[in-house]
Amino acid sequence: MSAGINFTLASLFYIILLLFVFFSKTRINRLENKIYSYLIITCFFGVTIGLGTWYFMKNMNVYPLLNIIFSRLYLVYLITWLSIFCLYTIVITFPKLNFDKWKSYFYIIYFVLFCGIFLLPLEYVSEGDRVYSYGMAANLIYLLSGILIIVLIYCMLKNRKEIFQKKYYPLILFMLLGGVVMVIQKLNPALLLLTYTETFITFLMYFTIENPDVSMLNELYKNKELMEQSYEDKYNFLFEMTQEARSPIVDINSVTRELLNEDVSDSVKEKINYLNVLTRRLDFSINNVLNISSLDVSKVKIINSKYELDKICDDVVTKIKPSVKPGVNFTIEYPKQIPKLYGDYMKLRQILYSLLINSCKNTINGSINLKVNLIEKYDVARLIFNISDTGSGMEIDKINELLSTTGELDKEELENLDTKEYNVKVCQKVIKIMGGNLMIKSNVGEGTEINLTVDQRVYHEKDKSILNQYENDIANFKKVLLIAQNKELINTIKKYLVKNNMTVSTLYYGKDGVDKVKSGKNYDFILIEDEMKEISGYMTLKELKNINNFDIPCIIMLNKDKENIKEHFIEDGFSDYLITNNIENDIEKIINKY
């Protein structure tokens, strides 16, 4: 028996073992895994065809027709395996590439090649144990293999920074072995080394494709869904509260302006001005602290300095303590779980230090407290620093002067930026430059309270968690995003969706829905209410359409009085519509369609 057939028999053993191991376990339904399963099946049939080719060619006088069929099918196998391997390499190199539009071209080219292999001349040689074929059909395979290898080299060069990652090991080995084997095969066609090489590469790929435990991921996914539901409830509650609180503030400001225009005494004017200060504080808390709808990763300046907030705070406190006067109690509070952040931590540290030093200078007895809070939303964290003391306090005019400080830093302020301490006016300017806000509340002789807010990017490790990689592949239920503010409508729709085994994420604010999609969440379709506060259904769609590669169907929910203009919403970019007065029938149609 020839060496070539021994290699093929060994390949058969390994590929049967691989078939059993791979298909006996539950796999994540990813494109990489699908392509790899095709590669294994192709390899199995290829090895089987290779054995049949050897046998029928060795007995070509007895089985002339089977010899022709198997010999040419073997050539089809060689180019099929290499094409699938090439497709796998393209997928891991260009994960966002849309392959659906290229399918038809691929099928046409493959059909032409199939016809060429069966129509072009092929000669057969059988000399003892040495059997092989040659001719134009075989040369076509070598030519096409060369083209595909050029594509593989292009993929390697395109992604050269990540070429030494585990998933590229089979490609590197194939490039090293494949070229040598093709030359040997050309010089000595009877060796049949190509089949063995392809089987070996297929076997190696099993150990380089990420295939985590699916049951573990499902448990993690359920826990994450519960956590996200909790976050959504919090976002929706805060959105409702901020909307309800804004209206009375506007009314109060309107009334105070009218009163100031009337002929009132100076003492009344003073009280009205104080009332304005109180509403401004409340407005600050609503808009700059509680209103997490304004949290947007695109608005946060990109500064690639990674830092840990608790360490920054501890460092500031260590430096501050020698300046705290005897008898003053200094305390600090911050959450136990704080994510790593990106940002200009040097300036943030200087601002905290400067504000605390100011408190130390003006507090002879009593207490100074630094309290740190954090609201995290997808890839952004809002940092909320509260510094309170029982010091000498400030006049309202002084507070107004500090808070009205805007504009660029002057020459002297720029020169002193690297100093250890800023004054409060410079702190106000710097925090504005960083995209943050400062609010001061103070009474003479009673103390001062400063609220500082600034948004920072959340730092993610280069390799995200396993769950983040596979989250969109493991969810068994269909997923729907519902963006609406009408609670009766929300409850009605959720009832129908849950009845049809769908998981529903509900958000009151359009931009929250946009942020959720930006964070990588995938949905089967998105339902959007037409008339909403802050941002309408149409504006929400516009924001969604600005996301790269966004292709999730969006359905607008319209009141009956807009039924006559429903087609306009389709022209505006919505995939479909449903009429809220006919919700039962329309939601069934949407579920069946999408």
The residue-averaged pLDDT of 280-307 equals: 62
CB-based contacts of 337: which residues, under 8 Å, 6+ apart?
Answer: none
Cα–Cα dist 540/98, whole Å? 25
Q: Are 546 and 533 in contact (CB under 8 A)?
A: no
Q: Is 564 exposed, middle or buried (0-12, 13-18, 19+ CB in 10 A)?
A: exposed
The residues with which 306 forms a beta bridge, in sequence order, are 342
pLDDT of 44 over the 90 cut: yes
In CATH, which of 3.30.565.10, 2.70.98.50, 3.40.50.300, 3.90.1150.10 is domain 295-458?
Answer: 3.30.565.10
Length of the chain as a residue count: 594
Q: In terms of Cα–Cα distance, which of 333, 334, 331 is closest to 359?
A: 331
Residue 526's pLDDT band (cuts 50, 70, 90): very high
What pLDDT does 463 receive?
Answer: 44
Domains 295-458 and 477-593 share a fold: no
Task: Record the tokens describing residue 545, joined without a space.
Answer: 């359409």
| Domain 477-593 in CATH 3.40.50.2300 | yes
Q: Are 378 and 516 in contact (CB under 8 A)?
A: yes
What pLDDT does 1 receive?
Answer: 46
pLDDT tens string 144-178: 888 888 888 888 888 777 777 777 788 888 887 77
Q: In terms of Cα–Cα distance, which of 526, 506, 516, 523 is closest to 237?
A: 506
Instruction: Show the CA angle centred on residue 584, arms to residues 544 and 226, nearest 5°.
Output: 55
The model's pTM is 0.51
SS3 call for 526: strand
What pLDDT does 554 receive?
Answer: 92
The domain ranges of the chain are 3-211, 215-290, 295-458, 477-593
SS3 call for 233: helix
Q: For the chain, what is the radius of gyration of the CA atoms?
A: 34
> Domain 3-211 belongs to what topology?
Rhopdopsin 7-helix transmembrane proteins (1.20.1070)
Kindly state the DSSP code that residue 238 receives in the 8-state scheme.
Answer: H
* Higher local confidence (pLDDT), 574 or 126: 574
- The CA dihedral of 185, 189, 191, 195, to the nearest 10 degrees, is 60
pLDDT, mean over the chain: 79
pLDDT tens string 50-77: 888 888 888 888 888 998 999 899 999 9
CB-based contacts of 201: which residues, under 8 Å, 6+ apart?
Answer: 85, 170, 173, 174, 177
pLDDT tens string 342-389: 888 888 888 888 889 888 888 888 999 999 888 777 677 888 898 999
* Higher local confidence (pLDDT), 526 or 337: 526
pLDDT tens string 439-476: 888 888 888 888 888 888 887 664 455 556 666 666 65
Residue 286's pLDDT band (cuts 50, 70, 90): low
